Structure formats: C-alpha cells, structure tokens
Chain A
Amino acid sequence: MPVEVKLPQLGESVYEGTIGRWLKQPGDLVEQYEPLVEVVTDKVNVEMPSPWKGRLVEILVQEGQTVPAGTPIALMEVEEVAPGEGAKEEMAGEAPPGHPREEARPRLSPLVRRLAEEHGVSAEELTRIPGTGTGGRITKEDLLRYVESRRPAPSPTEPSAVTAVPSRAEEAREGLPTAGDTLIRLNPIRRTIAERMTQSKREIPHAYGIVEVDMTEIVRWREAHKEEWLAREGVNITYTAFIVRATVEALRAFPIVNSTWTEEGILLRRTINIGVGVAIEEGLIVPVIKNAEEKSLLGIARELAELTRKAREGKLTLEEVQGGTFTITNPGVFGSLLSMPIIVPGQAAILAVDAIVKRPVVRWDAIAIREMMHLGLSFDHRIFDGAVAVQFLNHIKAKLEGFKSDAAVVSDF
C-alpha cells in the first residue's frame, strides 16, 4: 500500500519548504535514509532522506513549489512490515522502530540531551539522527552511533617535504584542532549567515558613509511620554521605530537606495520592505516590515514589537523573513559607536544605527551636552556613489533632528 512522504519541519522557525530538485523519479528504488529530494528554505537547504526503503510511486509536489511542513510530497510503495511485528506494534499504538520522527524538534531523554551537549551535537543535527526507540525516539545508542560516525577520518600522514610551497593539506592543517580546542558545530542560521556574508563581501564593492544625528528632542519626548504611549497603544515606542520611519521617507526621496543590482541594470523596487536585524540565541535573524511606506510611526512600532517577539520565540514564518529591500541593523543596542555592516545580498545598502550617547557638541557657538548618535551606511558602489549616500543619510538626519512635539499623542512624524 503506498504511503505518504511528508515534508518534515526543517528548522525551529521554518514551517514551510520549497522543493528544490527531486533526486529520485517515480519508479526508482530508494534505500532508507537515501537522499530523496532537495528542500530549500531561507534558513536551510537540505537533502531530505527517505524515511523508508521502497519504491517512489508518485511525486505530489513539483520542483519550485512551496508547501507547509507536514504536506504529503510523494507517495512511496513500502515493504510490508512482518505481520507478527506489525500487529503487536499496532496494539501498542507505536510507530515501528527505525522510522524517523515526524516532528522537527525531537523529544530527548535527559541523558541524550546531556550527551548531545557534551559531544556538540546541534539541535539541527538531532533532527537528522534516525531514532530506533519507541516512536522513533533517539536512544543513547543512536546518539553515540551518530557521534562515532561523524568523527573525521584520521588525518593523512606527514606532509610531503618535496616542495617548500605550502601544500593545500598543510594550509588546511592550520585549521585543525589542537588539544583543548572546542569545535562549535554550525547551526543552520550560522551557516546561512556565513554563506550570505561571504557572498556579499565577495560580490559587492562596499563603500561607507557616516553621519552624526542629534537625537535630543526624540530622547526627551520619549522619556516623557513612553509610559503613556505604552498604556495607550499597548506597545513600546522605540528609537528603532523612529529611525525606520525616517529611513522610509529617505528611501522615497532616494529610490535608488531601494534597489537591486542586476547585470541588465539597476532594479528599483516599488515597495519598501525594511528588514530589521534581531539578535537571537542562534545568531541573527532579519524579519521584514512589508510595505513600510504605507505605515505610520505607530504601525511600525507595533509591527516591530510583534516581529521581535516572534523572532525571539522562533515563530517567524518564512514569509516574514523574506522580501526585504533595505536593511537596518542596530549594533547600538550593544553599545557600538561606529559600525560598518555588510550589505544583504540583493539589496543596495544597509543602515547601521549606533548607540545614543551624551556628547559635548557645539550649538549656537556654545558647547552643549546633546544626545548624539551615529548612522552608518554601507552601500553598493556599483549602484550609487558617495554623494547619494551622504544625501540619503542627511535626509534621515534632518527628519530625526526635526522632530518637535510638545504633544503626548504622536502617531506619526
């Protein structure tokens, strides 16, 4: 009887996946755990192993289609379980041993959890370990077998002394661990960040501009009114919301900053979708405020709060982290004074918001203590030049410094 192969949940915050390429075609015989299909998400690209040994009967989801986790993507003809065994297991209401678990976050015994930590097995790796326990649970033996199997083969013998030029093997050896070192396995987020940042620095000629913004008016207003605002709107008013709002206006004034480099030309984006970096335990995730040009300060503050909460809880959908046209990163929350971020591939620039600190500055030919903040722009020099970059920054600066309100009720500025 054909059984359904379902799309597994491929990461903690990933609830859908796009079928990349079918590695098996209908009629093919498939071994258990043999790669069956490539699945692409924004966080992970994986080869999904076949949950069973059998024959692929029908492909239900074609290449390029995106479906939620749990959707049947293929039908397989699977060898019958031995009758005695099957009957017994049915009675017990448990899945046959040896079948991978369907849920992405496996429930682990305290021991397996401890061993995984001790051996540096990541949460993502745990989802891939075939469990042989009841209901596909990962047992101690399964985990230790996996740890054994991933241990690298012993390194080759001494490097050849024939040439003085360092061989590839020798170069590689520099990265090899020595006694006392600890290897942190890459989680999918770390791997994605690494790939995309490397791609960006390799492909995009980065240039930089920095301006200084006097935030005193906004700081004063916020300090005076943040509590009533919270009581009234049910959401915090943050500096980030002000900066996103000011940036959106600047992007409307300088559409070239809201664009993508292509070989055919510069693609100006009609909508403004602002990605905002949120630090989470596993790394960094960038939820996107869509159609930001249509949103007020209040709308932005509300959406920021919602997206940040979801990011921290690992509940962002794929939709919510896709489609950014410009990115704002906020190293200032950690105290950074001057930052030069890396552009997200596919975008023209990224804005770094640094810390607001009191500094003595000259105002009306006198020295005043003001709340100062740097804004740094990293931009793709293929798309525009320094003049545009600094005008763009000054547009944001003017908007922020121009904020003046004695009123408690401000829903936009």
Chain B
Amino acid sequence: MAELRLIDAINQALHEEMERDERVLVLGEDVGRKGGVFGATEGLYDRFGGERVIDTPLAESSIVGVAIGMAANGLLPVAEIQFADFIFPAMNQILSEAARMRYRSNGAFGCPLVIRAPYGGGVHGALYHSQSVEAFFAHIPGLKVVVPYHPGDAKGLLKASIRDPDPVLFFEHKKLYRMVRGEVPEGDYIVPLGKAAIRREGKDLSVFAYGLMLHEALVAAEEVAKEGIDAEVVDLRTLRPLDKETLLASVRKTNRALIVYEDNGFLGYGAELAAILAEEAFFDLDAPIMRVTGPEVPAVPYAPPLERWFMPDARRIAEAMRRLAQY
C-alpha cells in the first residue's frame, strides 16, 4: 500500500471514478489545463479531455448551477470551488436548488452532485483564502458535508460522495494537502459517509475534531500522554449526517468531551455536538463540555503573529485537555 499525501489521494479518486463511470466529469476554475491551483485535478484533462474536464469562467453561481443541470440530466458532476471562501455566490444554487431537489420532487429526482472546496487557515492566506465554511452547509437538510483528514479516507470518502445520489459538500483543508501522508489502498474502495473513525483510543477524555484540527488534536494527545492523560481522538469525517452513535459511545466511555474546530466558536459546527451531548449523554458527563475554537473575529488575519493567534493548535488543545482531565 502506498503512503500518499491528501492531494494525491484526491487526485487518484478522481482518476479512478472518471475511469470507472463515464458520467463523472469535473468542472471549475483552472481545473483543466492547469490541473487546479493546488493540483488536485492534475492529469485529468490529458487523460479524459476537455469534454469531461471543463474550465469554467470565474462565476461560482454558474459553476454550481451548471453542475445541478448536469446532475438533473443524468451526469455525475464534481464541481470545484477554488477556495471555500468564494462559495457564497453559489449559496442560492446550493441551498435553494441542490439541497431541496429530492424533497421538492417528493423523491422523484436526486441531485448527485459533489462540490469540492479547499478550506481553512494556517497557510498565510489571509481573509479570503482561509475561511472555514462547513457550519453554513452542515446546517442545511438535504446536503451531506464531508471533511477528510486521512489520505486513505479522502480517497474512499470522495468515491462514496461521487456515488451518492444526493449533493455532497467535500471540504479539503488546504494545509493538509501536502502535510500528512497516510496509507491509501490501491484500487477501488469506498469509506461510507456518516461514519466517524476513532483515530486514537483513550480512556480519560474524548476529543472530537475534523480536518486540520484532527491533526492538531492527535499531536496534542501524544503530548499529554507523556503526562499520563489518555485521550481518545475521534475523526468525525462526515459532519452531516453525523455519526451520533460513535460520538455518544466515546463520551459514555470517557465521560469528558472536548470539541475542536477552526471556525469561530459561536454557532460553529461543534456547538451542535455540544448540544447533542448535553441532551443525550447528560448523565455520562463528569465535566462540562469544552470547546477549543477560533476567536470571534470576522476573518483569519494576514500578519503571522495574528494568524497564529487565530488558529487553534496542538498547544491550545493540549492545555484544554489538561484542564478537562483535571476538572
């Protein structure tokens, strides 16, 4: 099995899916000849040609609108939004059309669409290349939201998303693209949507995270392990539908919950996790649910010290783990 980077795993999944099913096609800004600004679609244009790997104008609403039309007509489009920060012009298409297609048609039509978008900070990307947007989409019934951390997952989750009969938002943390390597099985497999993964077993407390924060949580868990704190780290992978069983089972075991997300805290994705734990695991909690999140500012700043101030990291997570373990 090959040790691949996240970006390679995504590229491989796209190659294999386009090979497997000719209805699969890719569209977005610079996804064709350039192979994507991060290289996620490299080689697709040469392999499958301009009919199936389409360079689009700089118009996100159009990218998604066109993709919805394709999906409605029997194709399986994978649309790329170059940065998640620019997804908002397409919001109306996603929310009002894609998400509601099945419900509106009483189940007669689905919208088998995947929207890939790099998200997240820590890459010196400043206000418009650093945002975490998952909470907006995870809020919407009718959408599925996936955030891979492990390269092996990224391939299997992207394949599952492409084969899913409904619209999937697939958010890739751009800092993870070339940061972590992981074993990626060769050939065809899927990682089912809606299933979390326990990345590190532990008994003292549970950390719930996804994307880059999952990586930071794993580093923090090893750090506090030296002090005798045995943290369980749960990779949510699919934010919607949420794997509630794994969430609750982990807290029923460790009785302490720490939720980490990079977005600002107020009404962020982890707020829902905290609410579920309070509602359904109240008598299993030995400490208040804690969160480590980005601060309440409008965006990720550009200046390096300010960006560091913004980004939750292993040090901050380890501090929270210690407080929680001691509580």
Contact = CB atoms under 8 A, between A and B. Distances in A.
B45 to A, nearest CB: 56
B327 A110 contact: no
Contact of B285 (A111, A133, A134): A111
Nearest to B254: A140
Tier of interface size on chain B = 10 to 19
Interface of B: 255, 282-287, 323, 326-327
A110 B326 contact: no
Contacts of B282: 110
A111 B283 CA distance: 5
Report which residue of B282, B283, B284, B286 has the largest number of chain A beta carbons within 10 angstroms of its beta carbon: B286
Contact of B326 (A109, A114, A134): A134
Report which residue of A97, A112, A113, A140 has the largest number of chain B beta carbons within 10 angstroms of its beta carbon: A140
14 contacts: A97-B326, A109-B286, A110-B285, A110-B286, A111-B255, A111-B285, A112-B286, A113-B283, A114-B283, A133-B287, A133-B326, A133-B327, A134-B327, A139-B327
A276 B9 CA distance: 80
A114 B255 CA distance: 12
Contacts, number: 29
Interface of A: 97, 109-114, 133-134, 137, 139-140
Contact of B283 (A97, A110, A139): A110
Contacts of A110: 282-286
A110 B282 CA distance: 6
A140 B251 CA distance: 13
A140 B286 CA distance: 6
Contacts of A97: 326
Which 5 A-B pairs have CB atoms at the shortest separation, nearest pair first? A111-B286, A114-B283, A140-B286, A109-B286, A110-B283
Nearest to B282: A110
Contacts of A113: 283
B254 to A, nearest CB: 9
Report which residue of B282, B284, B287 has the largest number of chain A beta carbons within 10 angstroms of its beta carbon: B287
B323 to A, nearest CB: 8
A139 B327 CA distance: 7
A133 B282 CA distance: 19
Contacts of B283: 110-111, 113-114
Contacts of A137: 327
Contacts of A133: 287, 326-327
Given A111-B283, A114-B283, 19 more contacts: A109-B285, A109-B287, A110-B282, A110-B284, A110-B285, A110-B286, A111-B255, A111-B284, A111-B285, A111-B286, A112-B286, A113-B283, A114-B284, A133-B287, A133-B326, A134-B326, A137-B327, A139-B286, A140-B255
A273 B255 CA distance: 52
Contacts of B255: 111, 140
A332 B282 CA distance: 42
Contacts of B287: 109, 133
Contacts of B326: 97, 133-134
A137 B288 CA distance: 13
B252 to A, nearest CB: 10
A109 B282 CA distance: 9
B172 to A, nearest CB: 37
Nearest to B204: A141
Contacts of A134: 323, 326-327
Contacts of B327: 133-134, 137, 139
A140 B327 CA distance: 10
A394 B283 CA distance: 57
A186 B208 CA distance: 42
Contacts of A140: 255, 286
Contacts of A112: 286
Nearest to A139: B286
A218 to B, nearest CB: 50
Nearest to B284: A111
A139 B285 CA distance: 10
B279 to A, nearest CB: 12
A376 to B, nearest CB: 46
A114 B323 CA distance: 23
A170 to B, nearest CB: 41
Contacts of B284: 110-111, 114
Nearest to A135: B327
A96 to B, nearest CB: 11
A114 B283 CA distance: 6
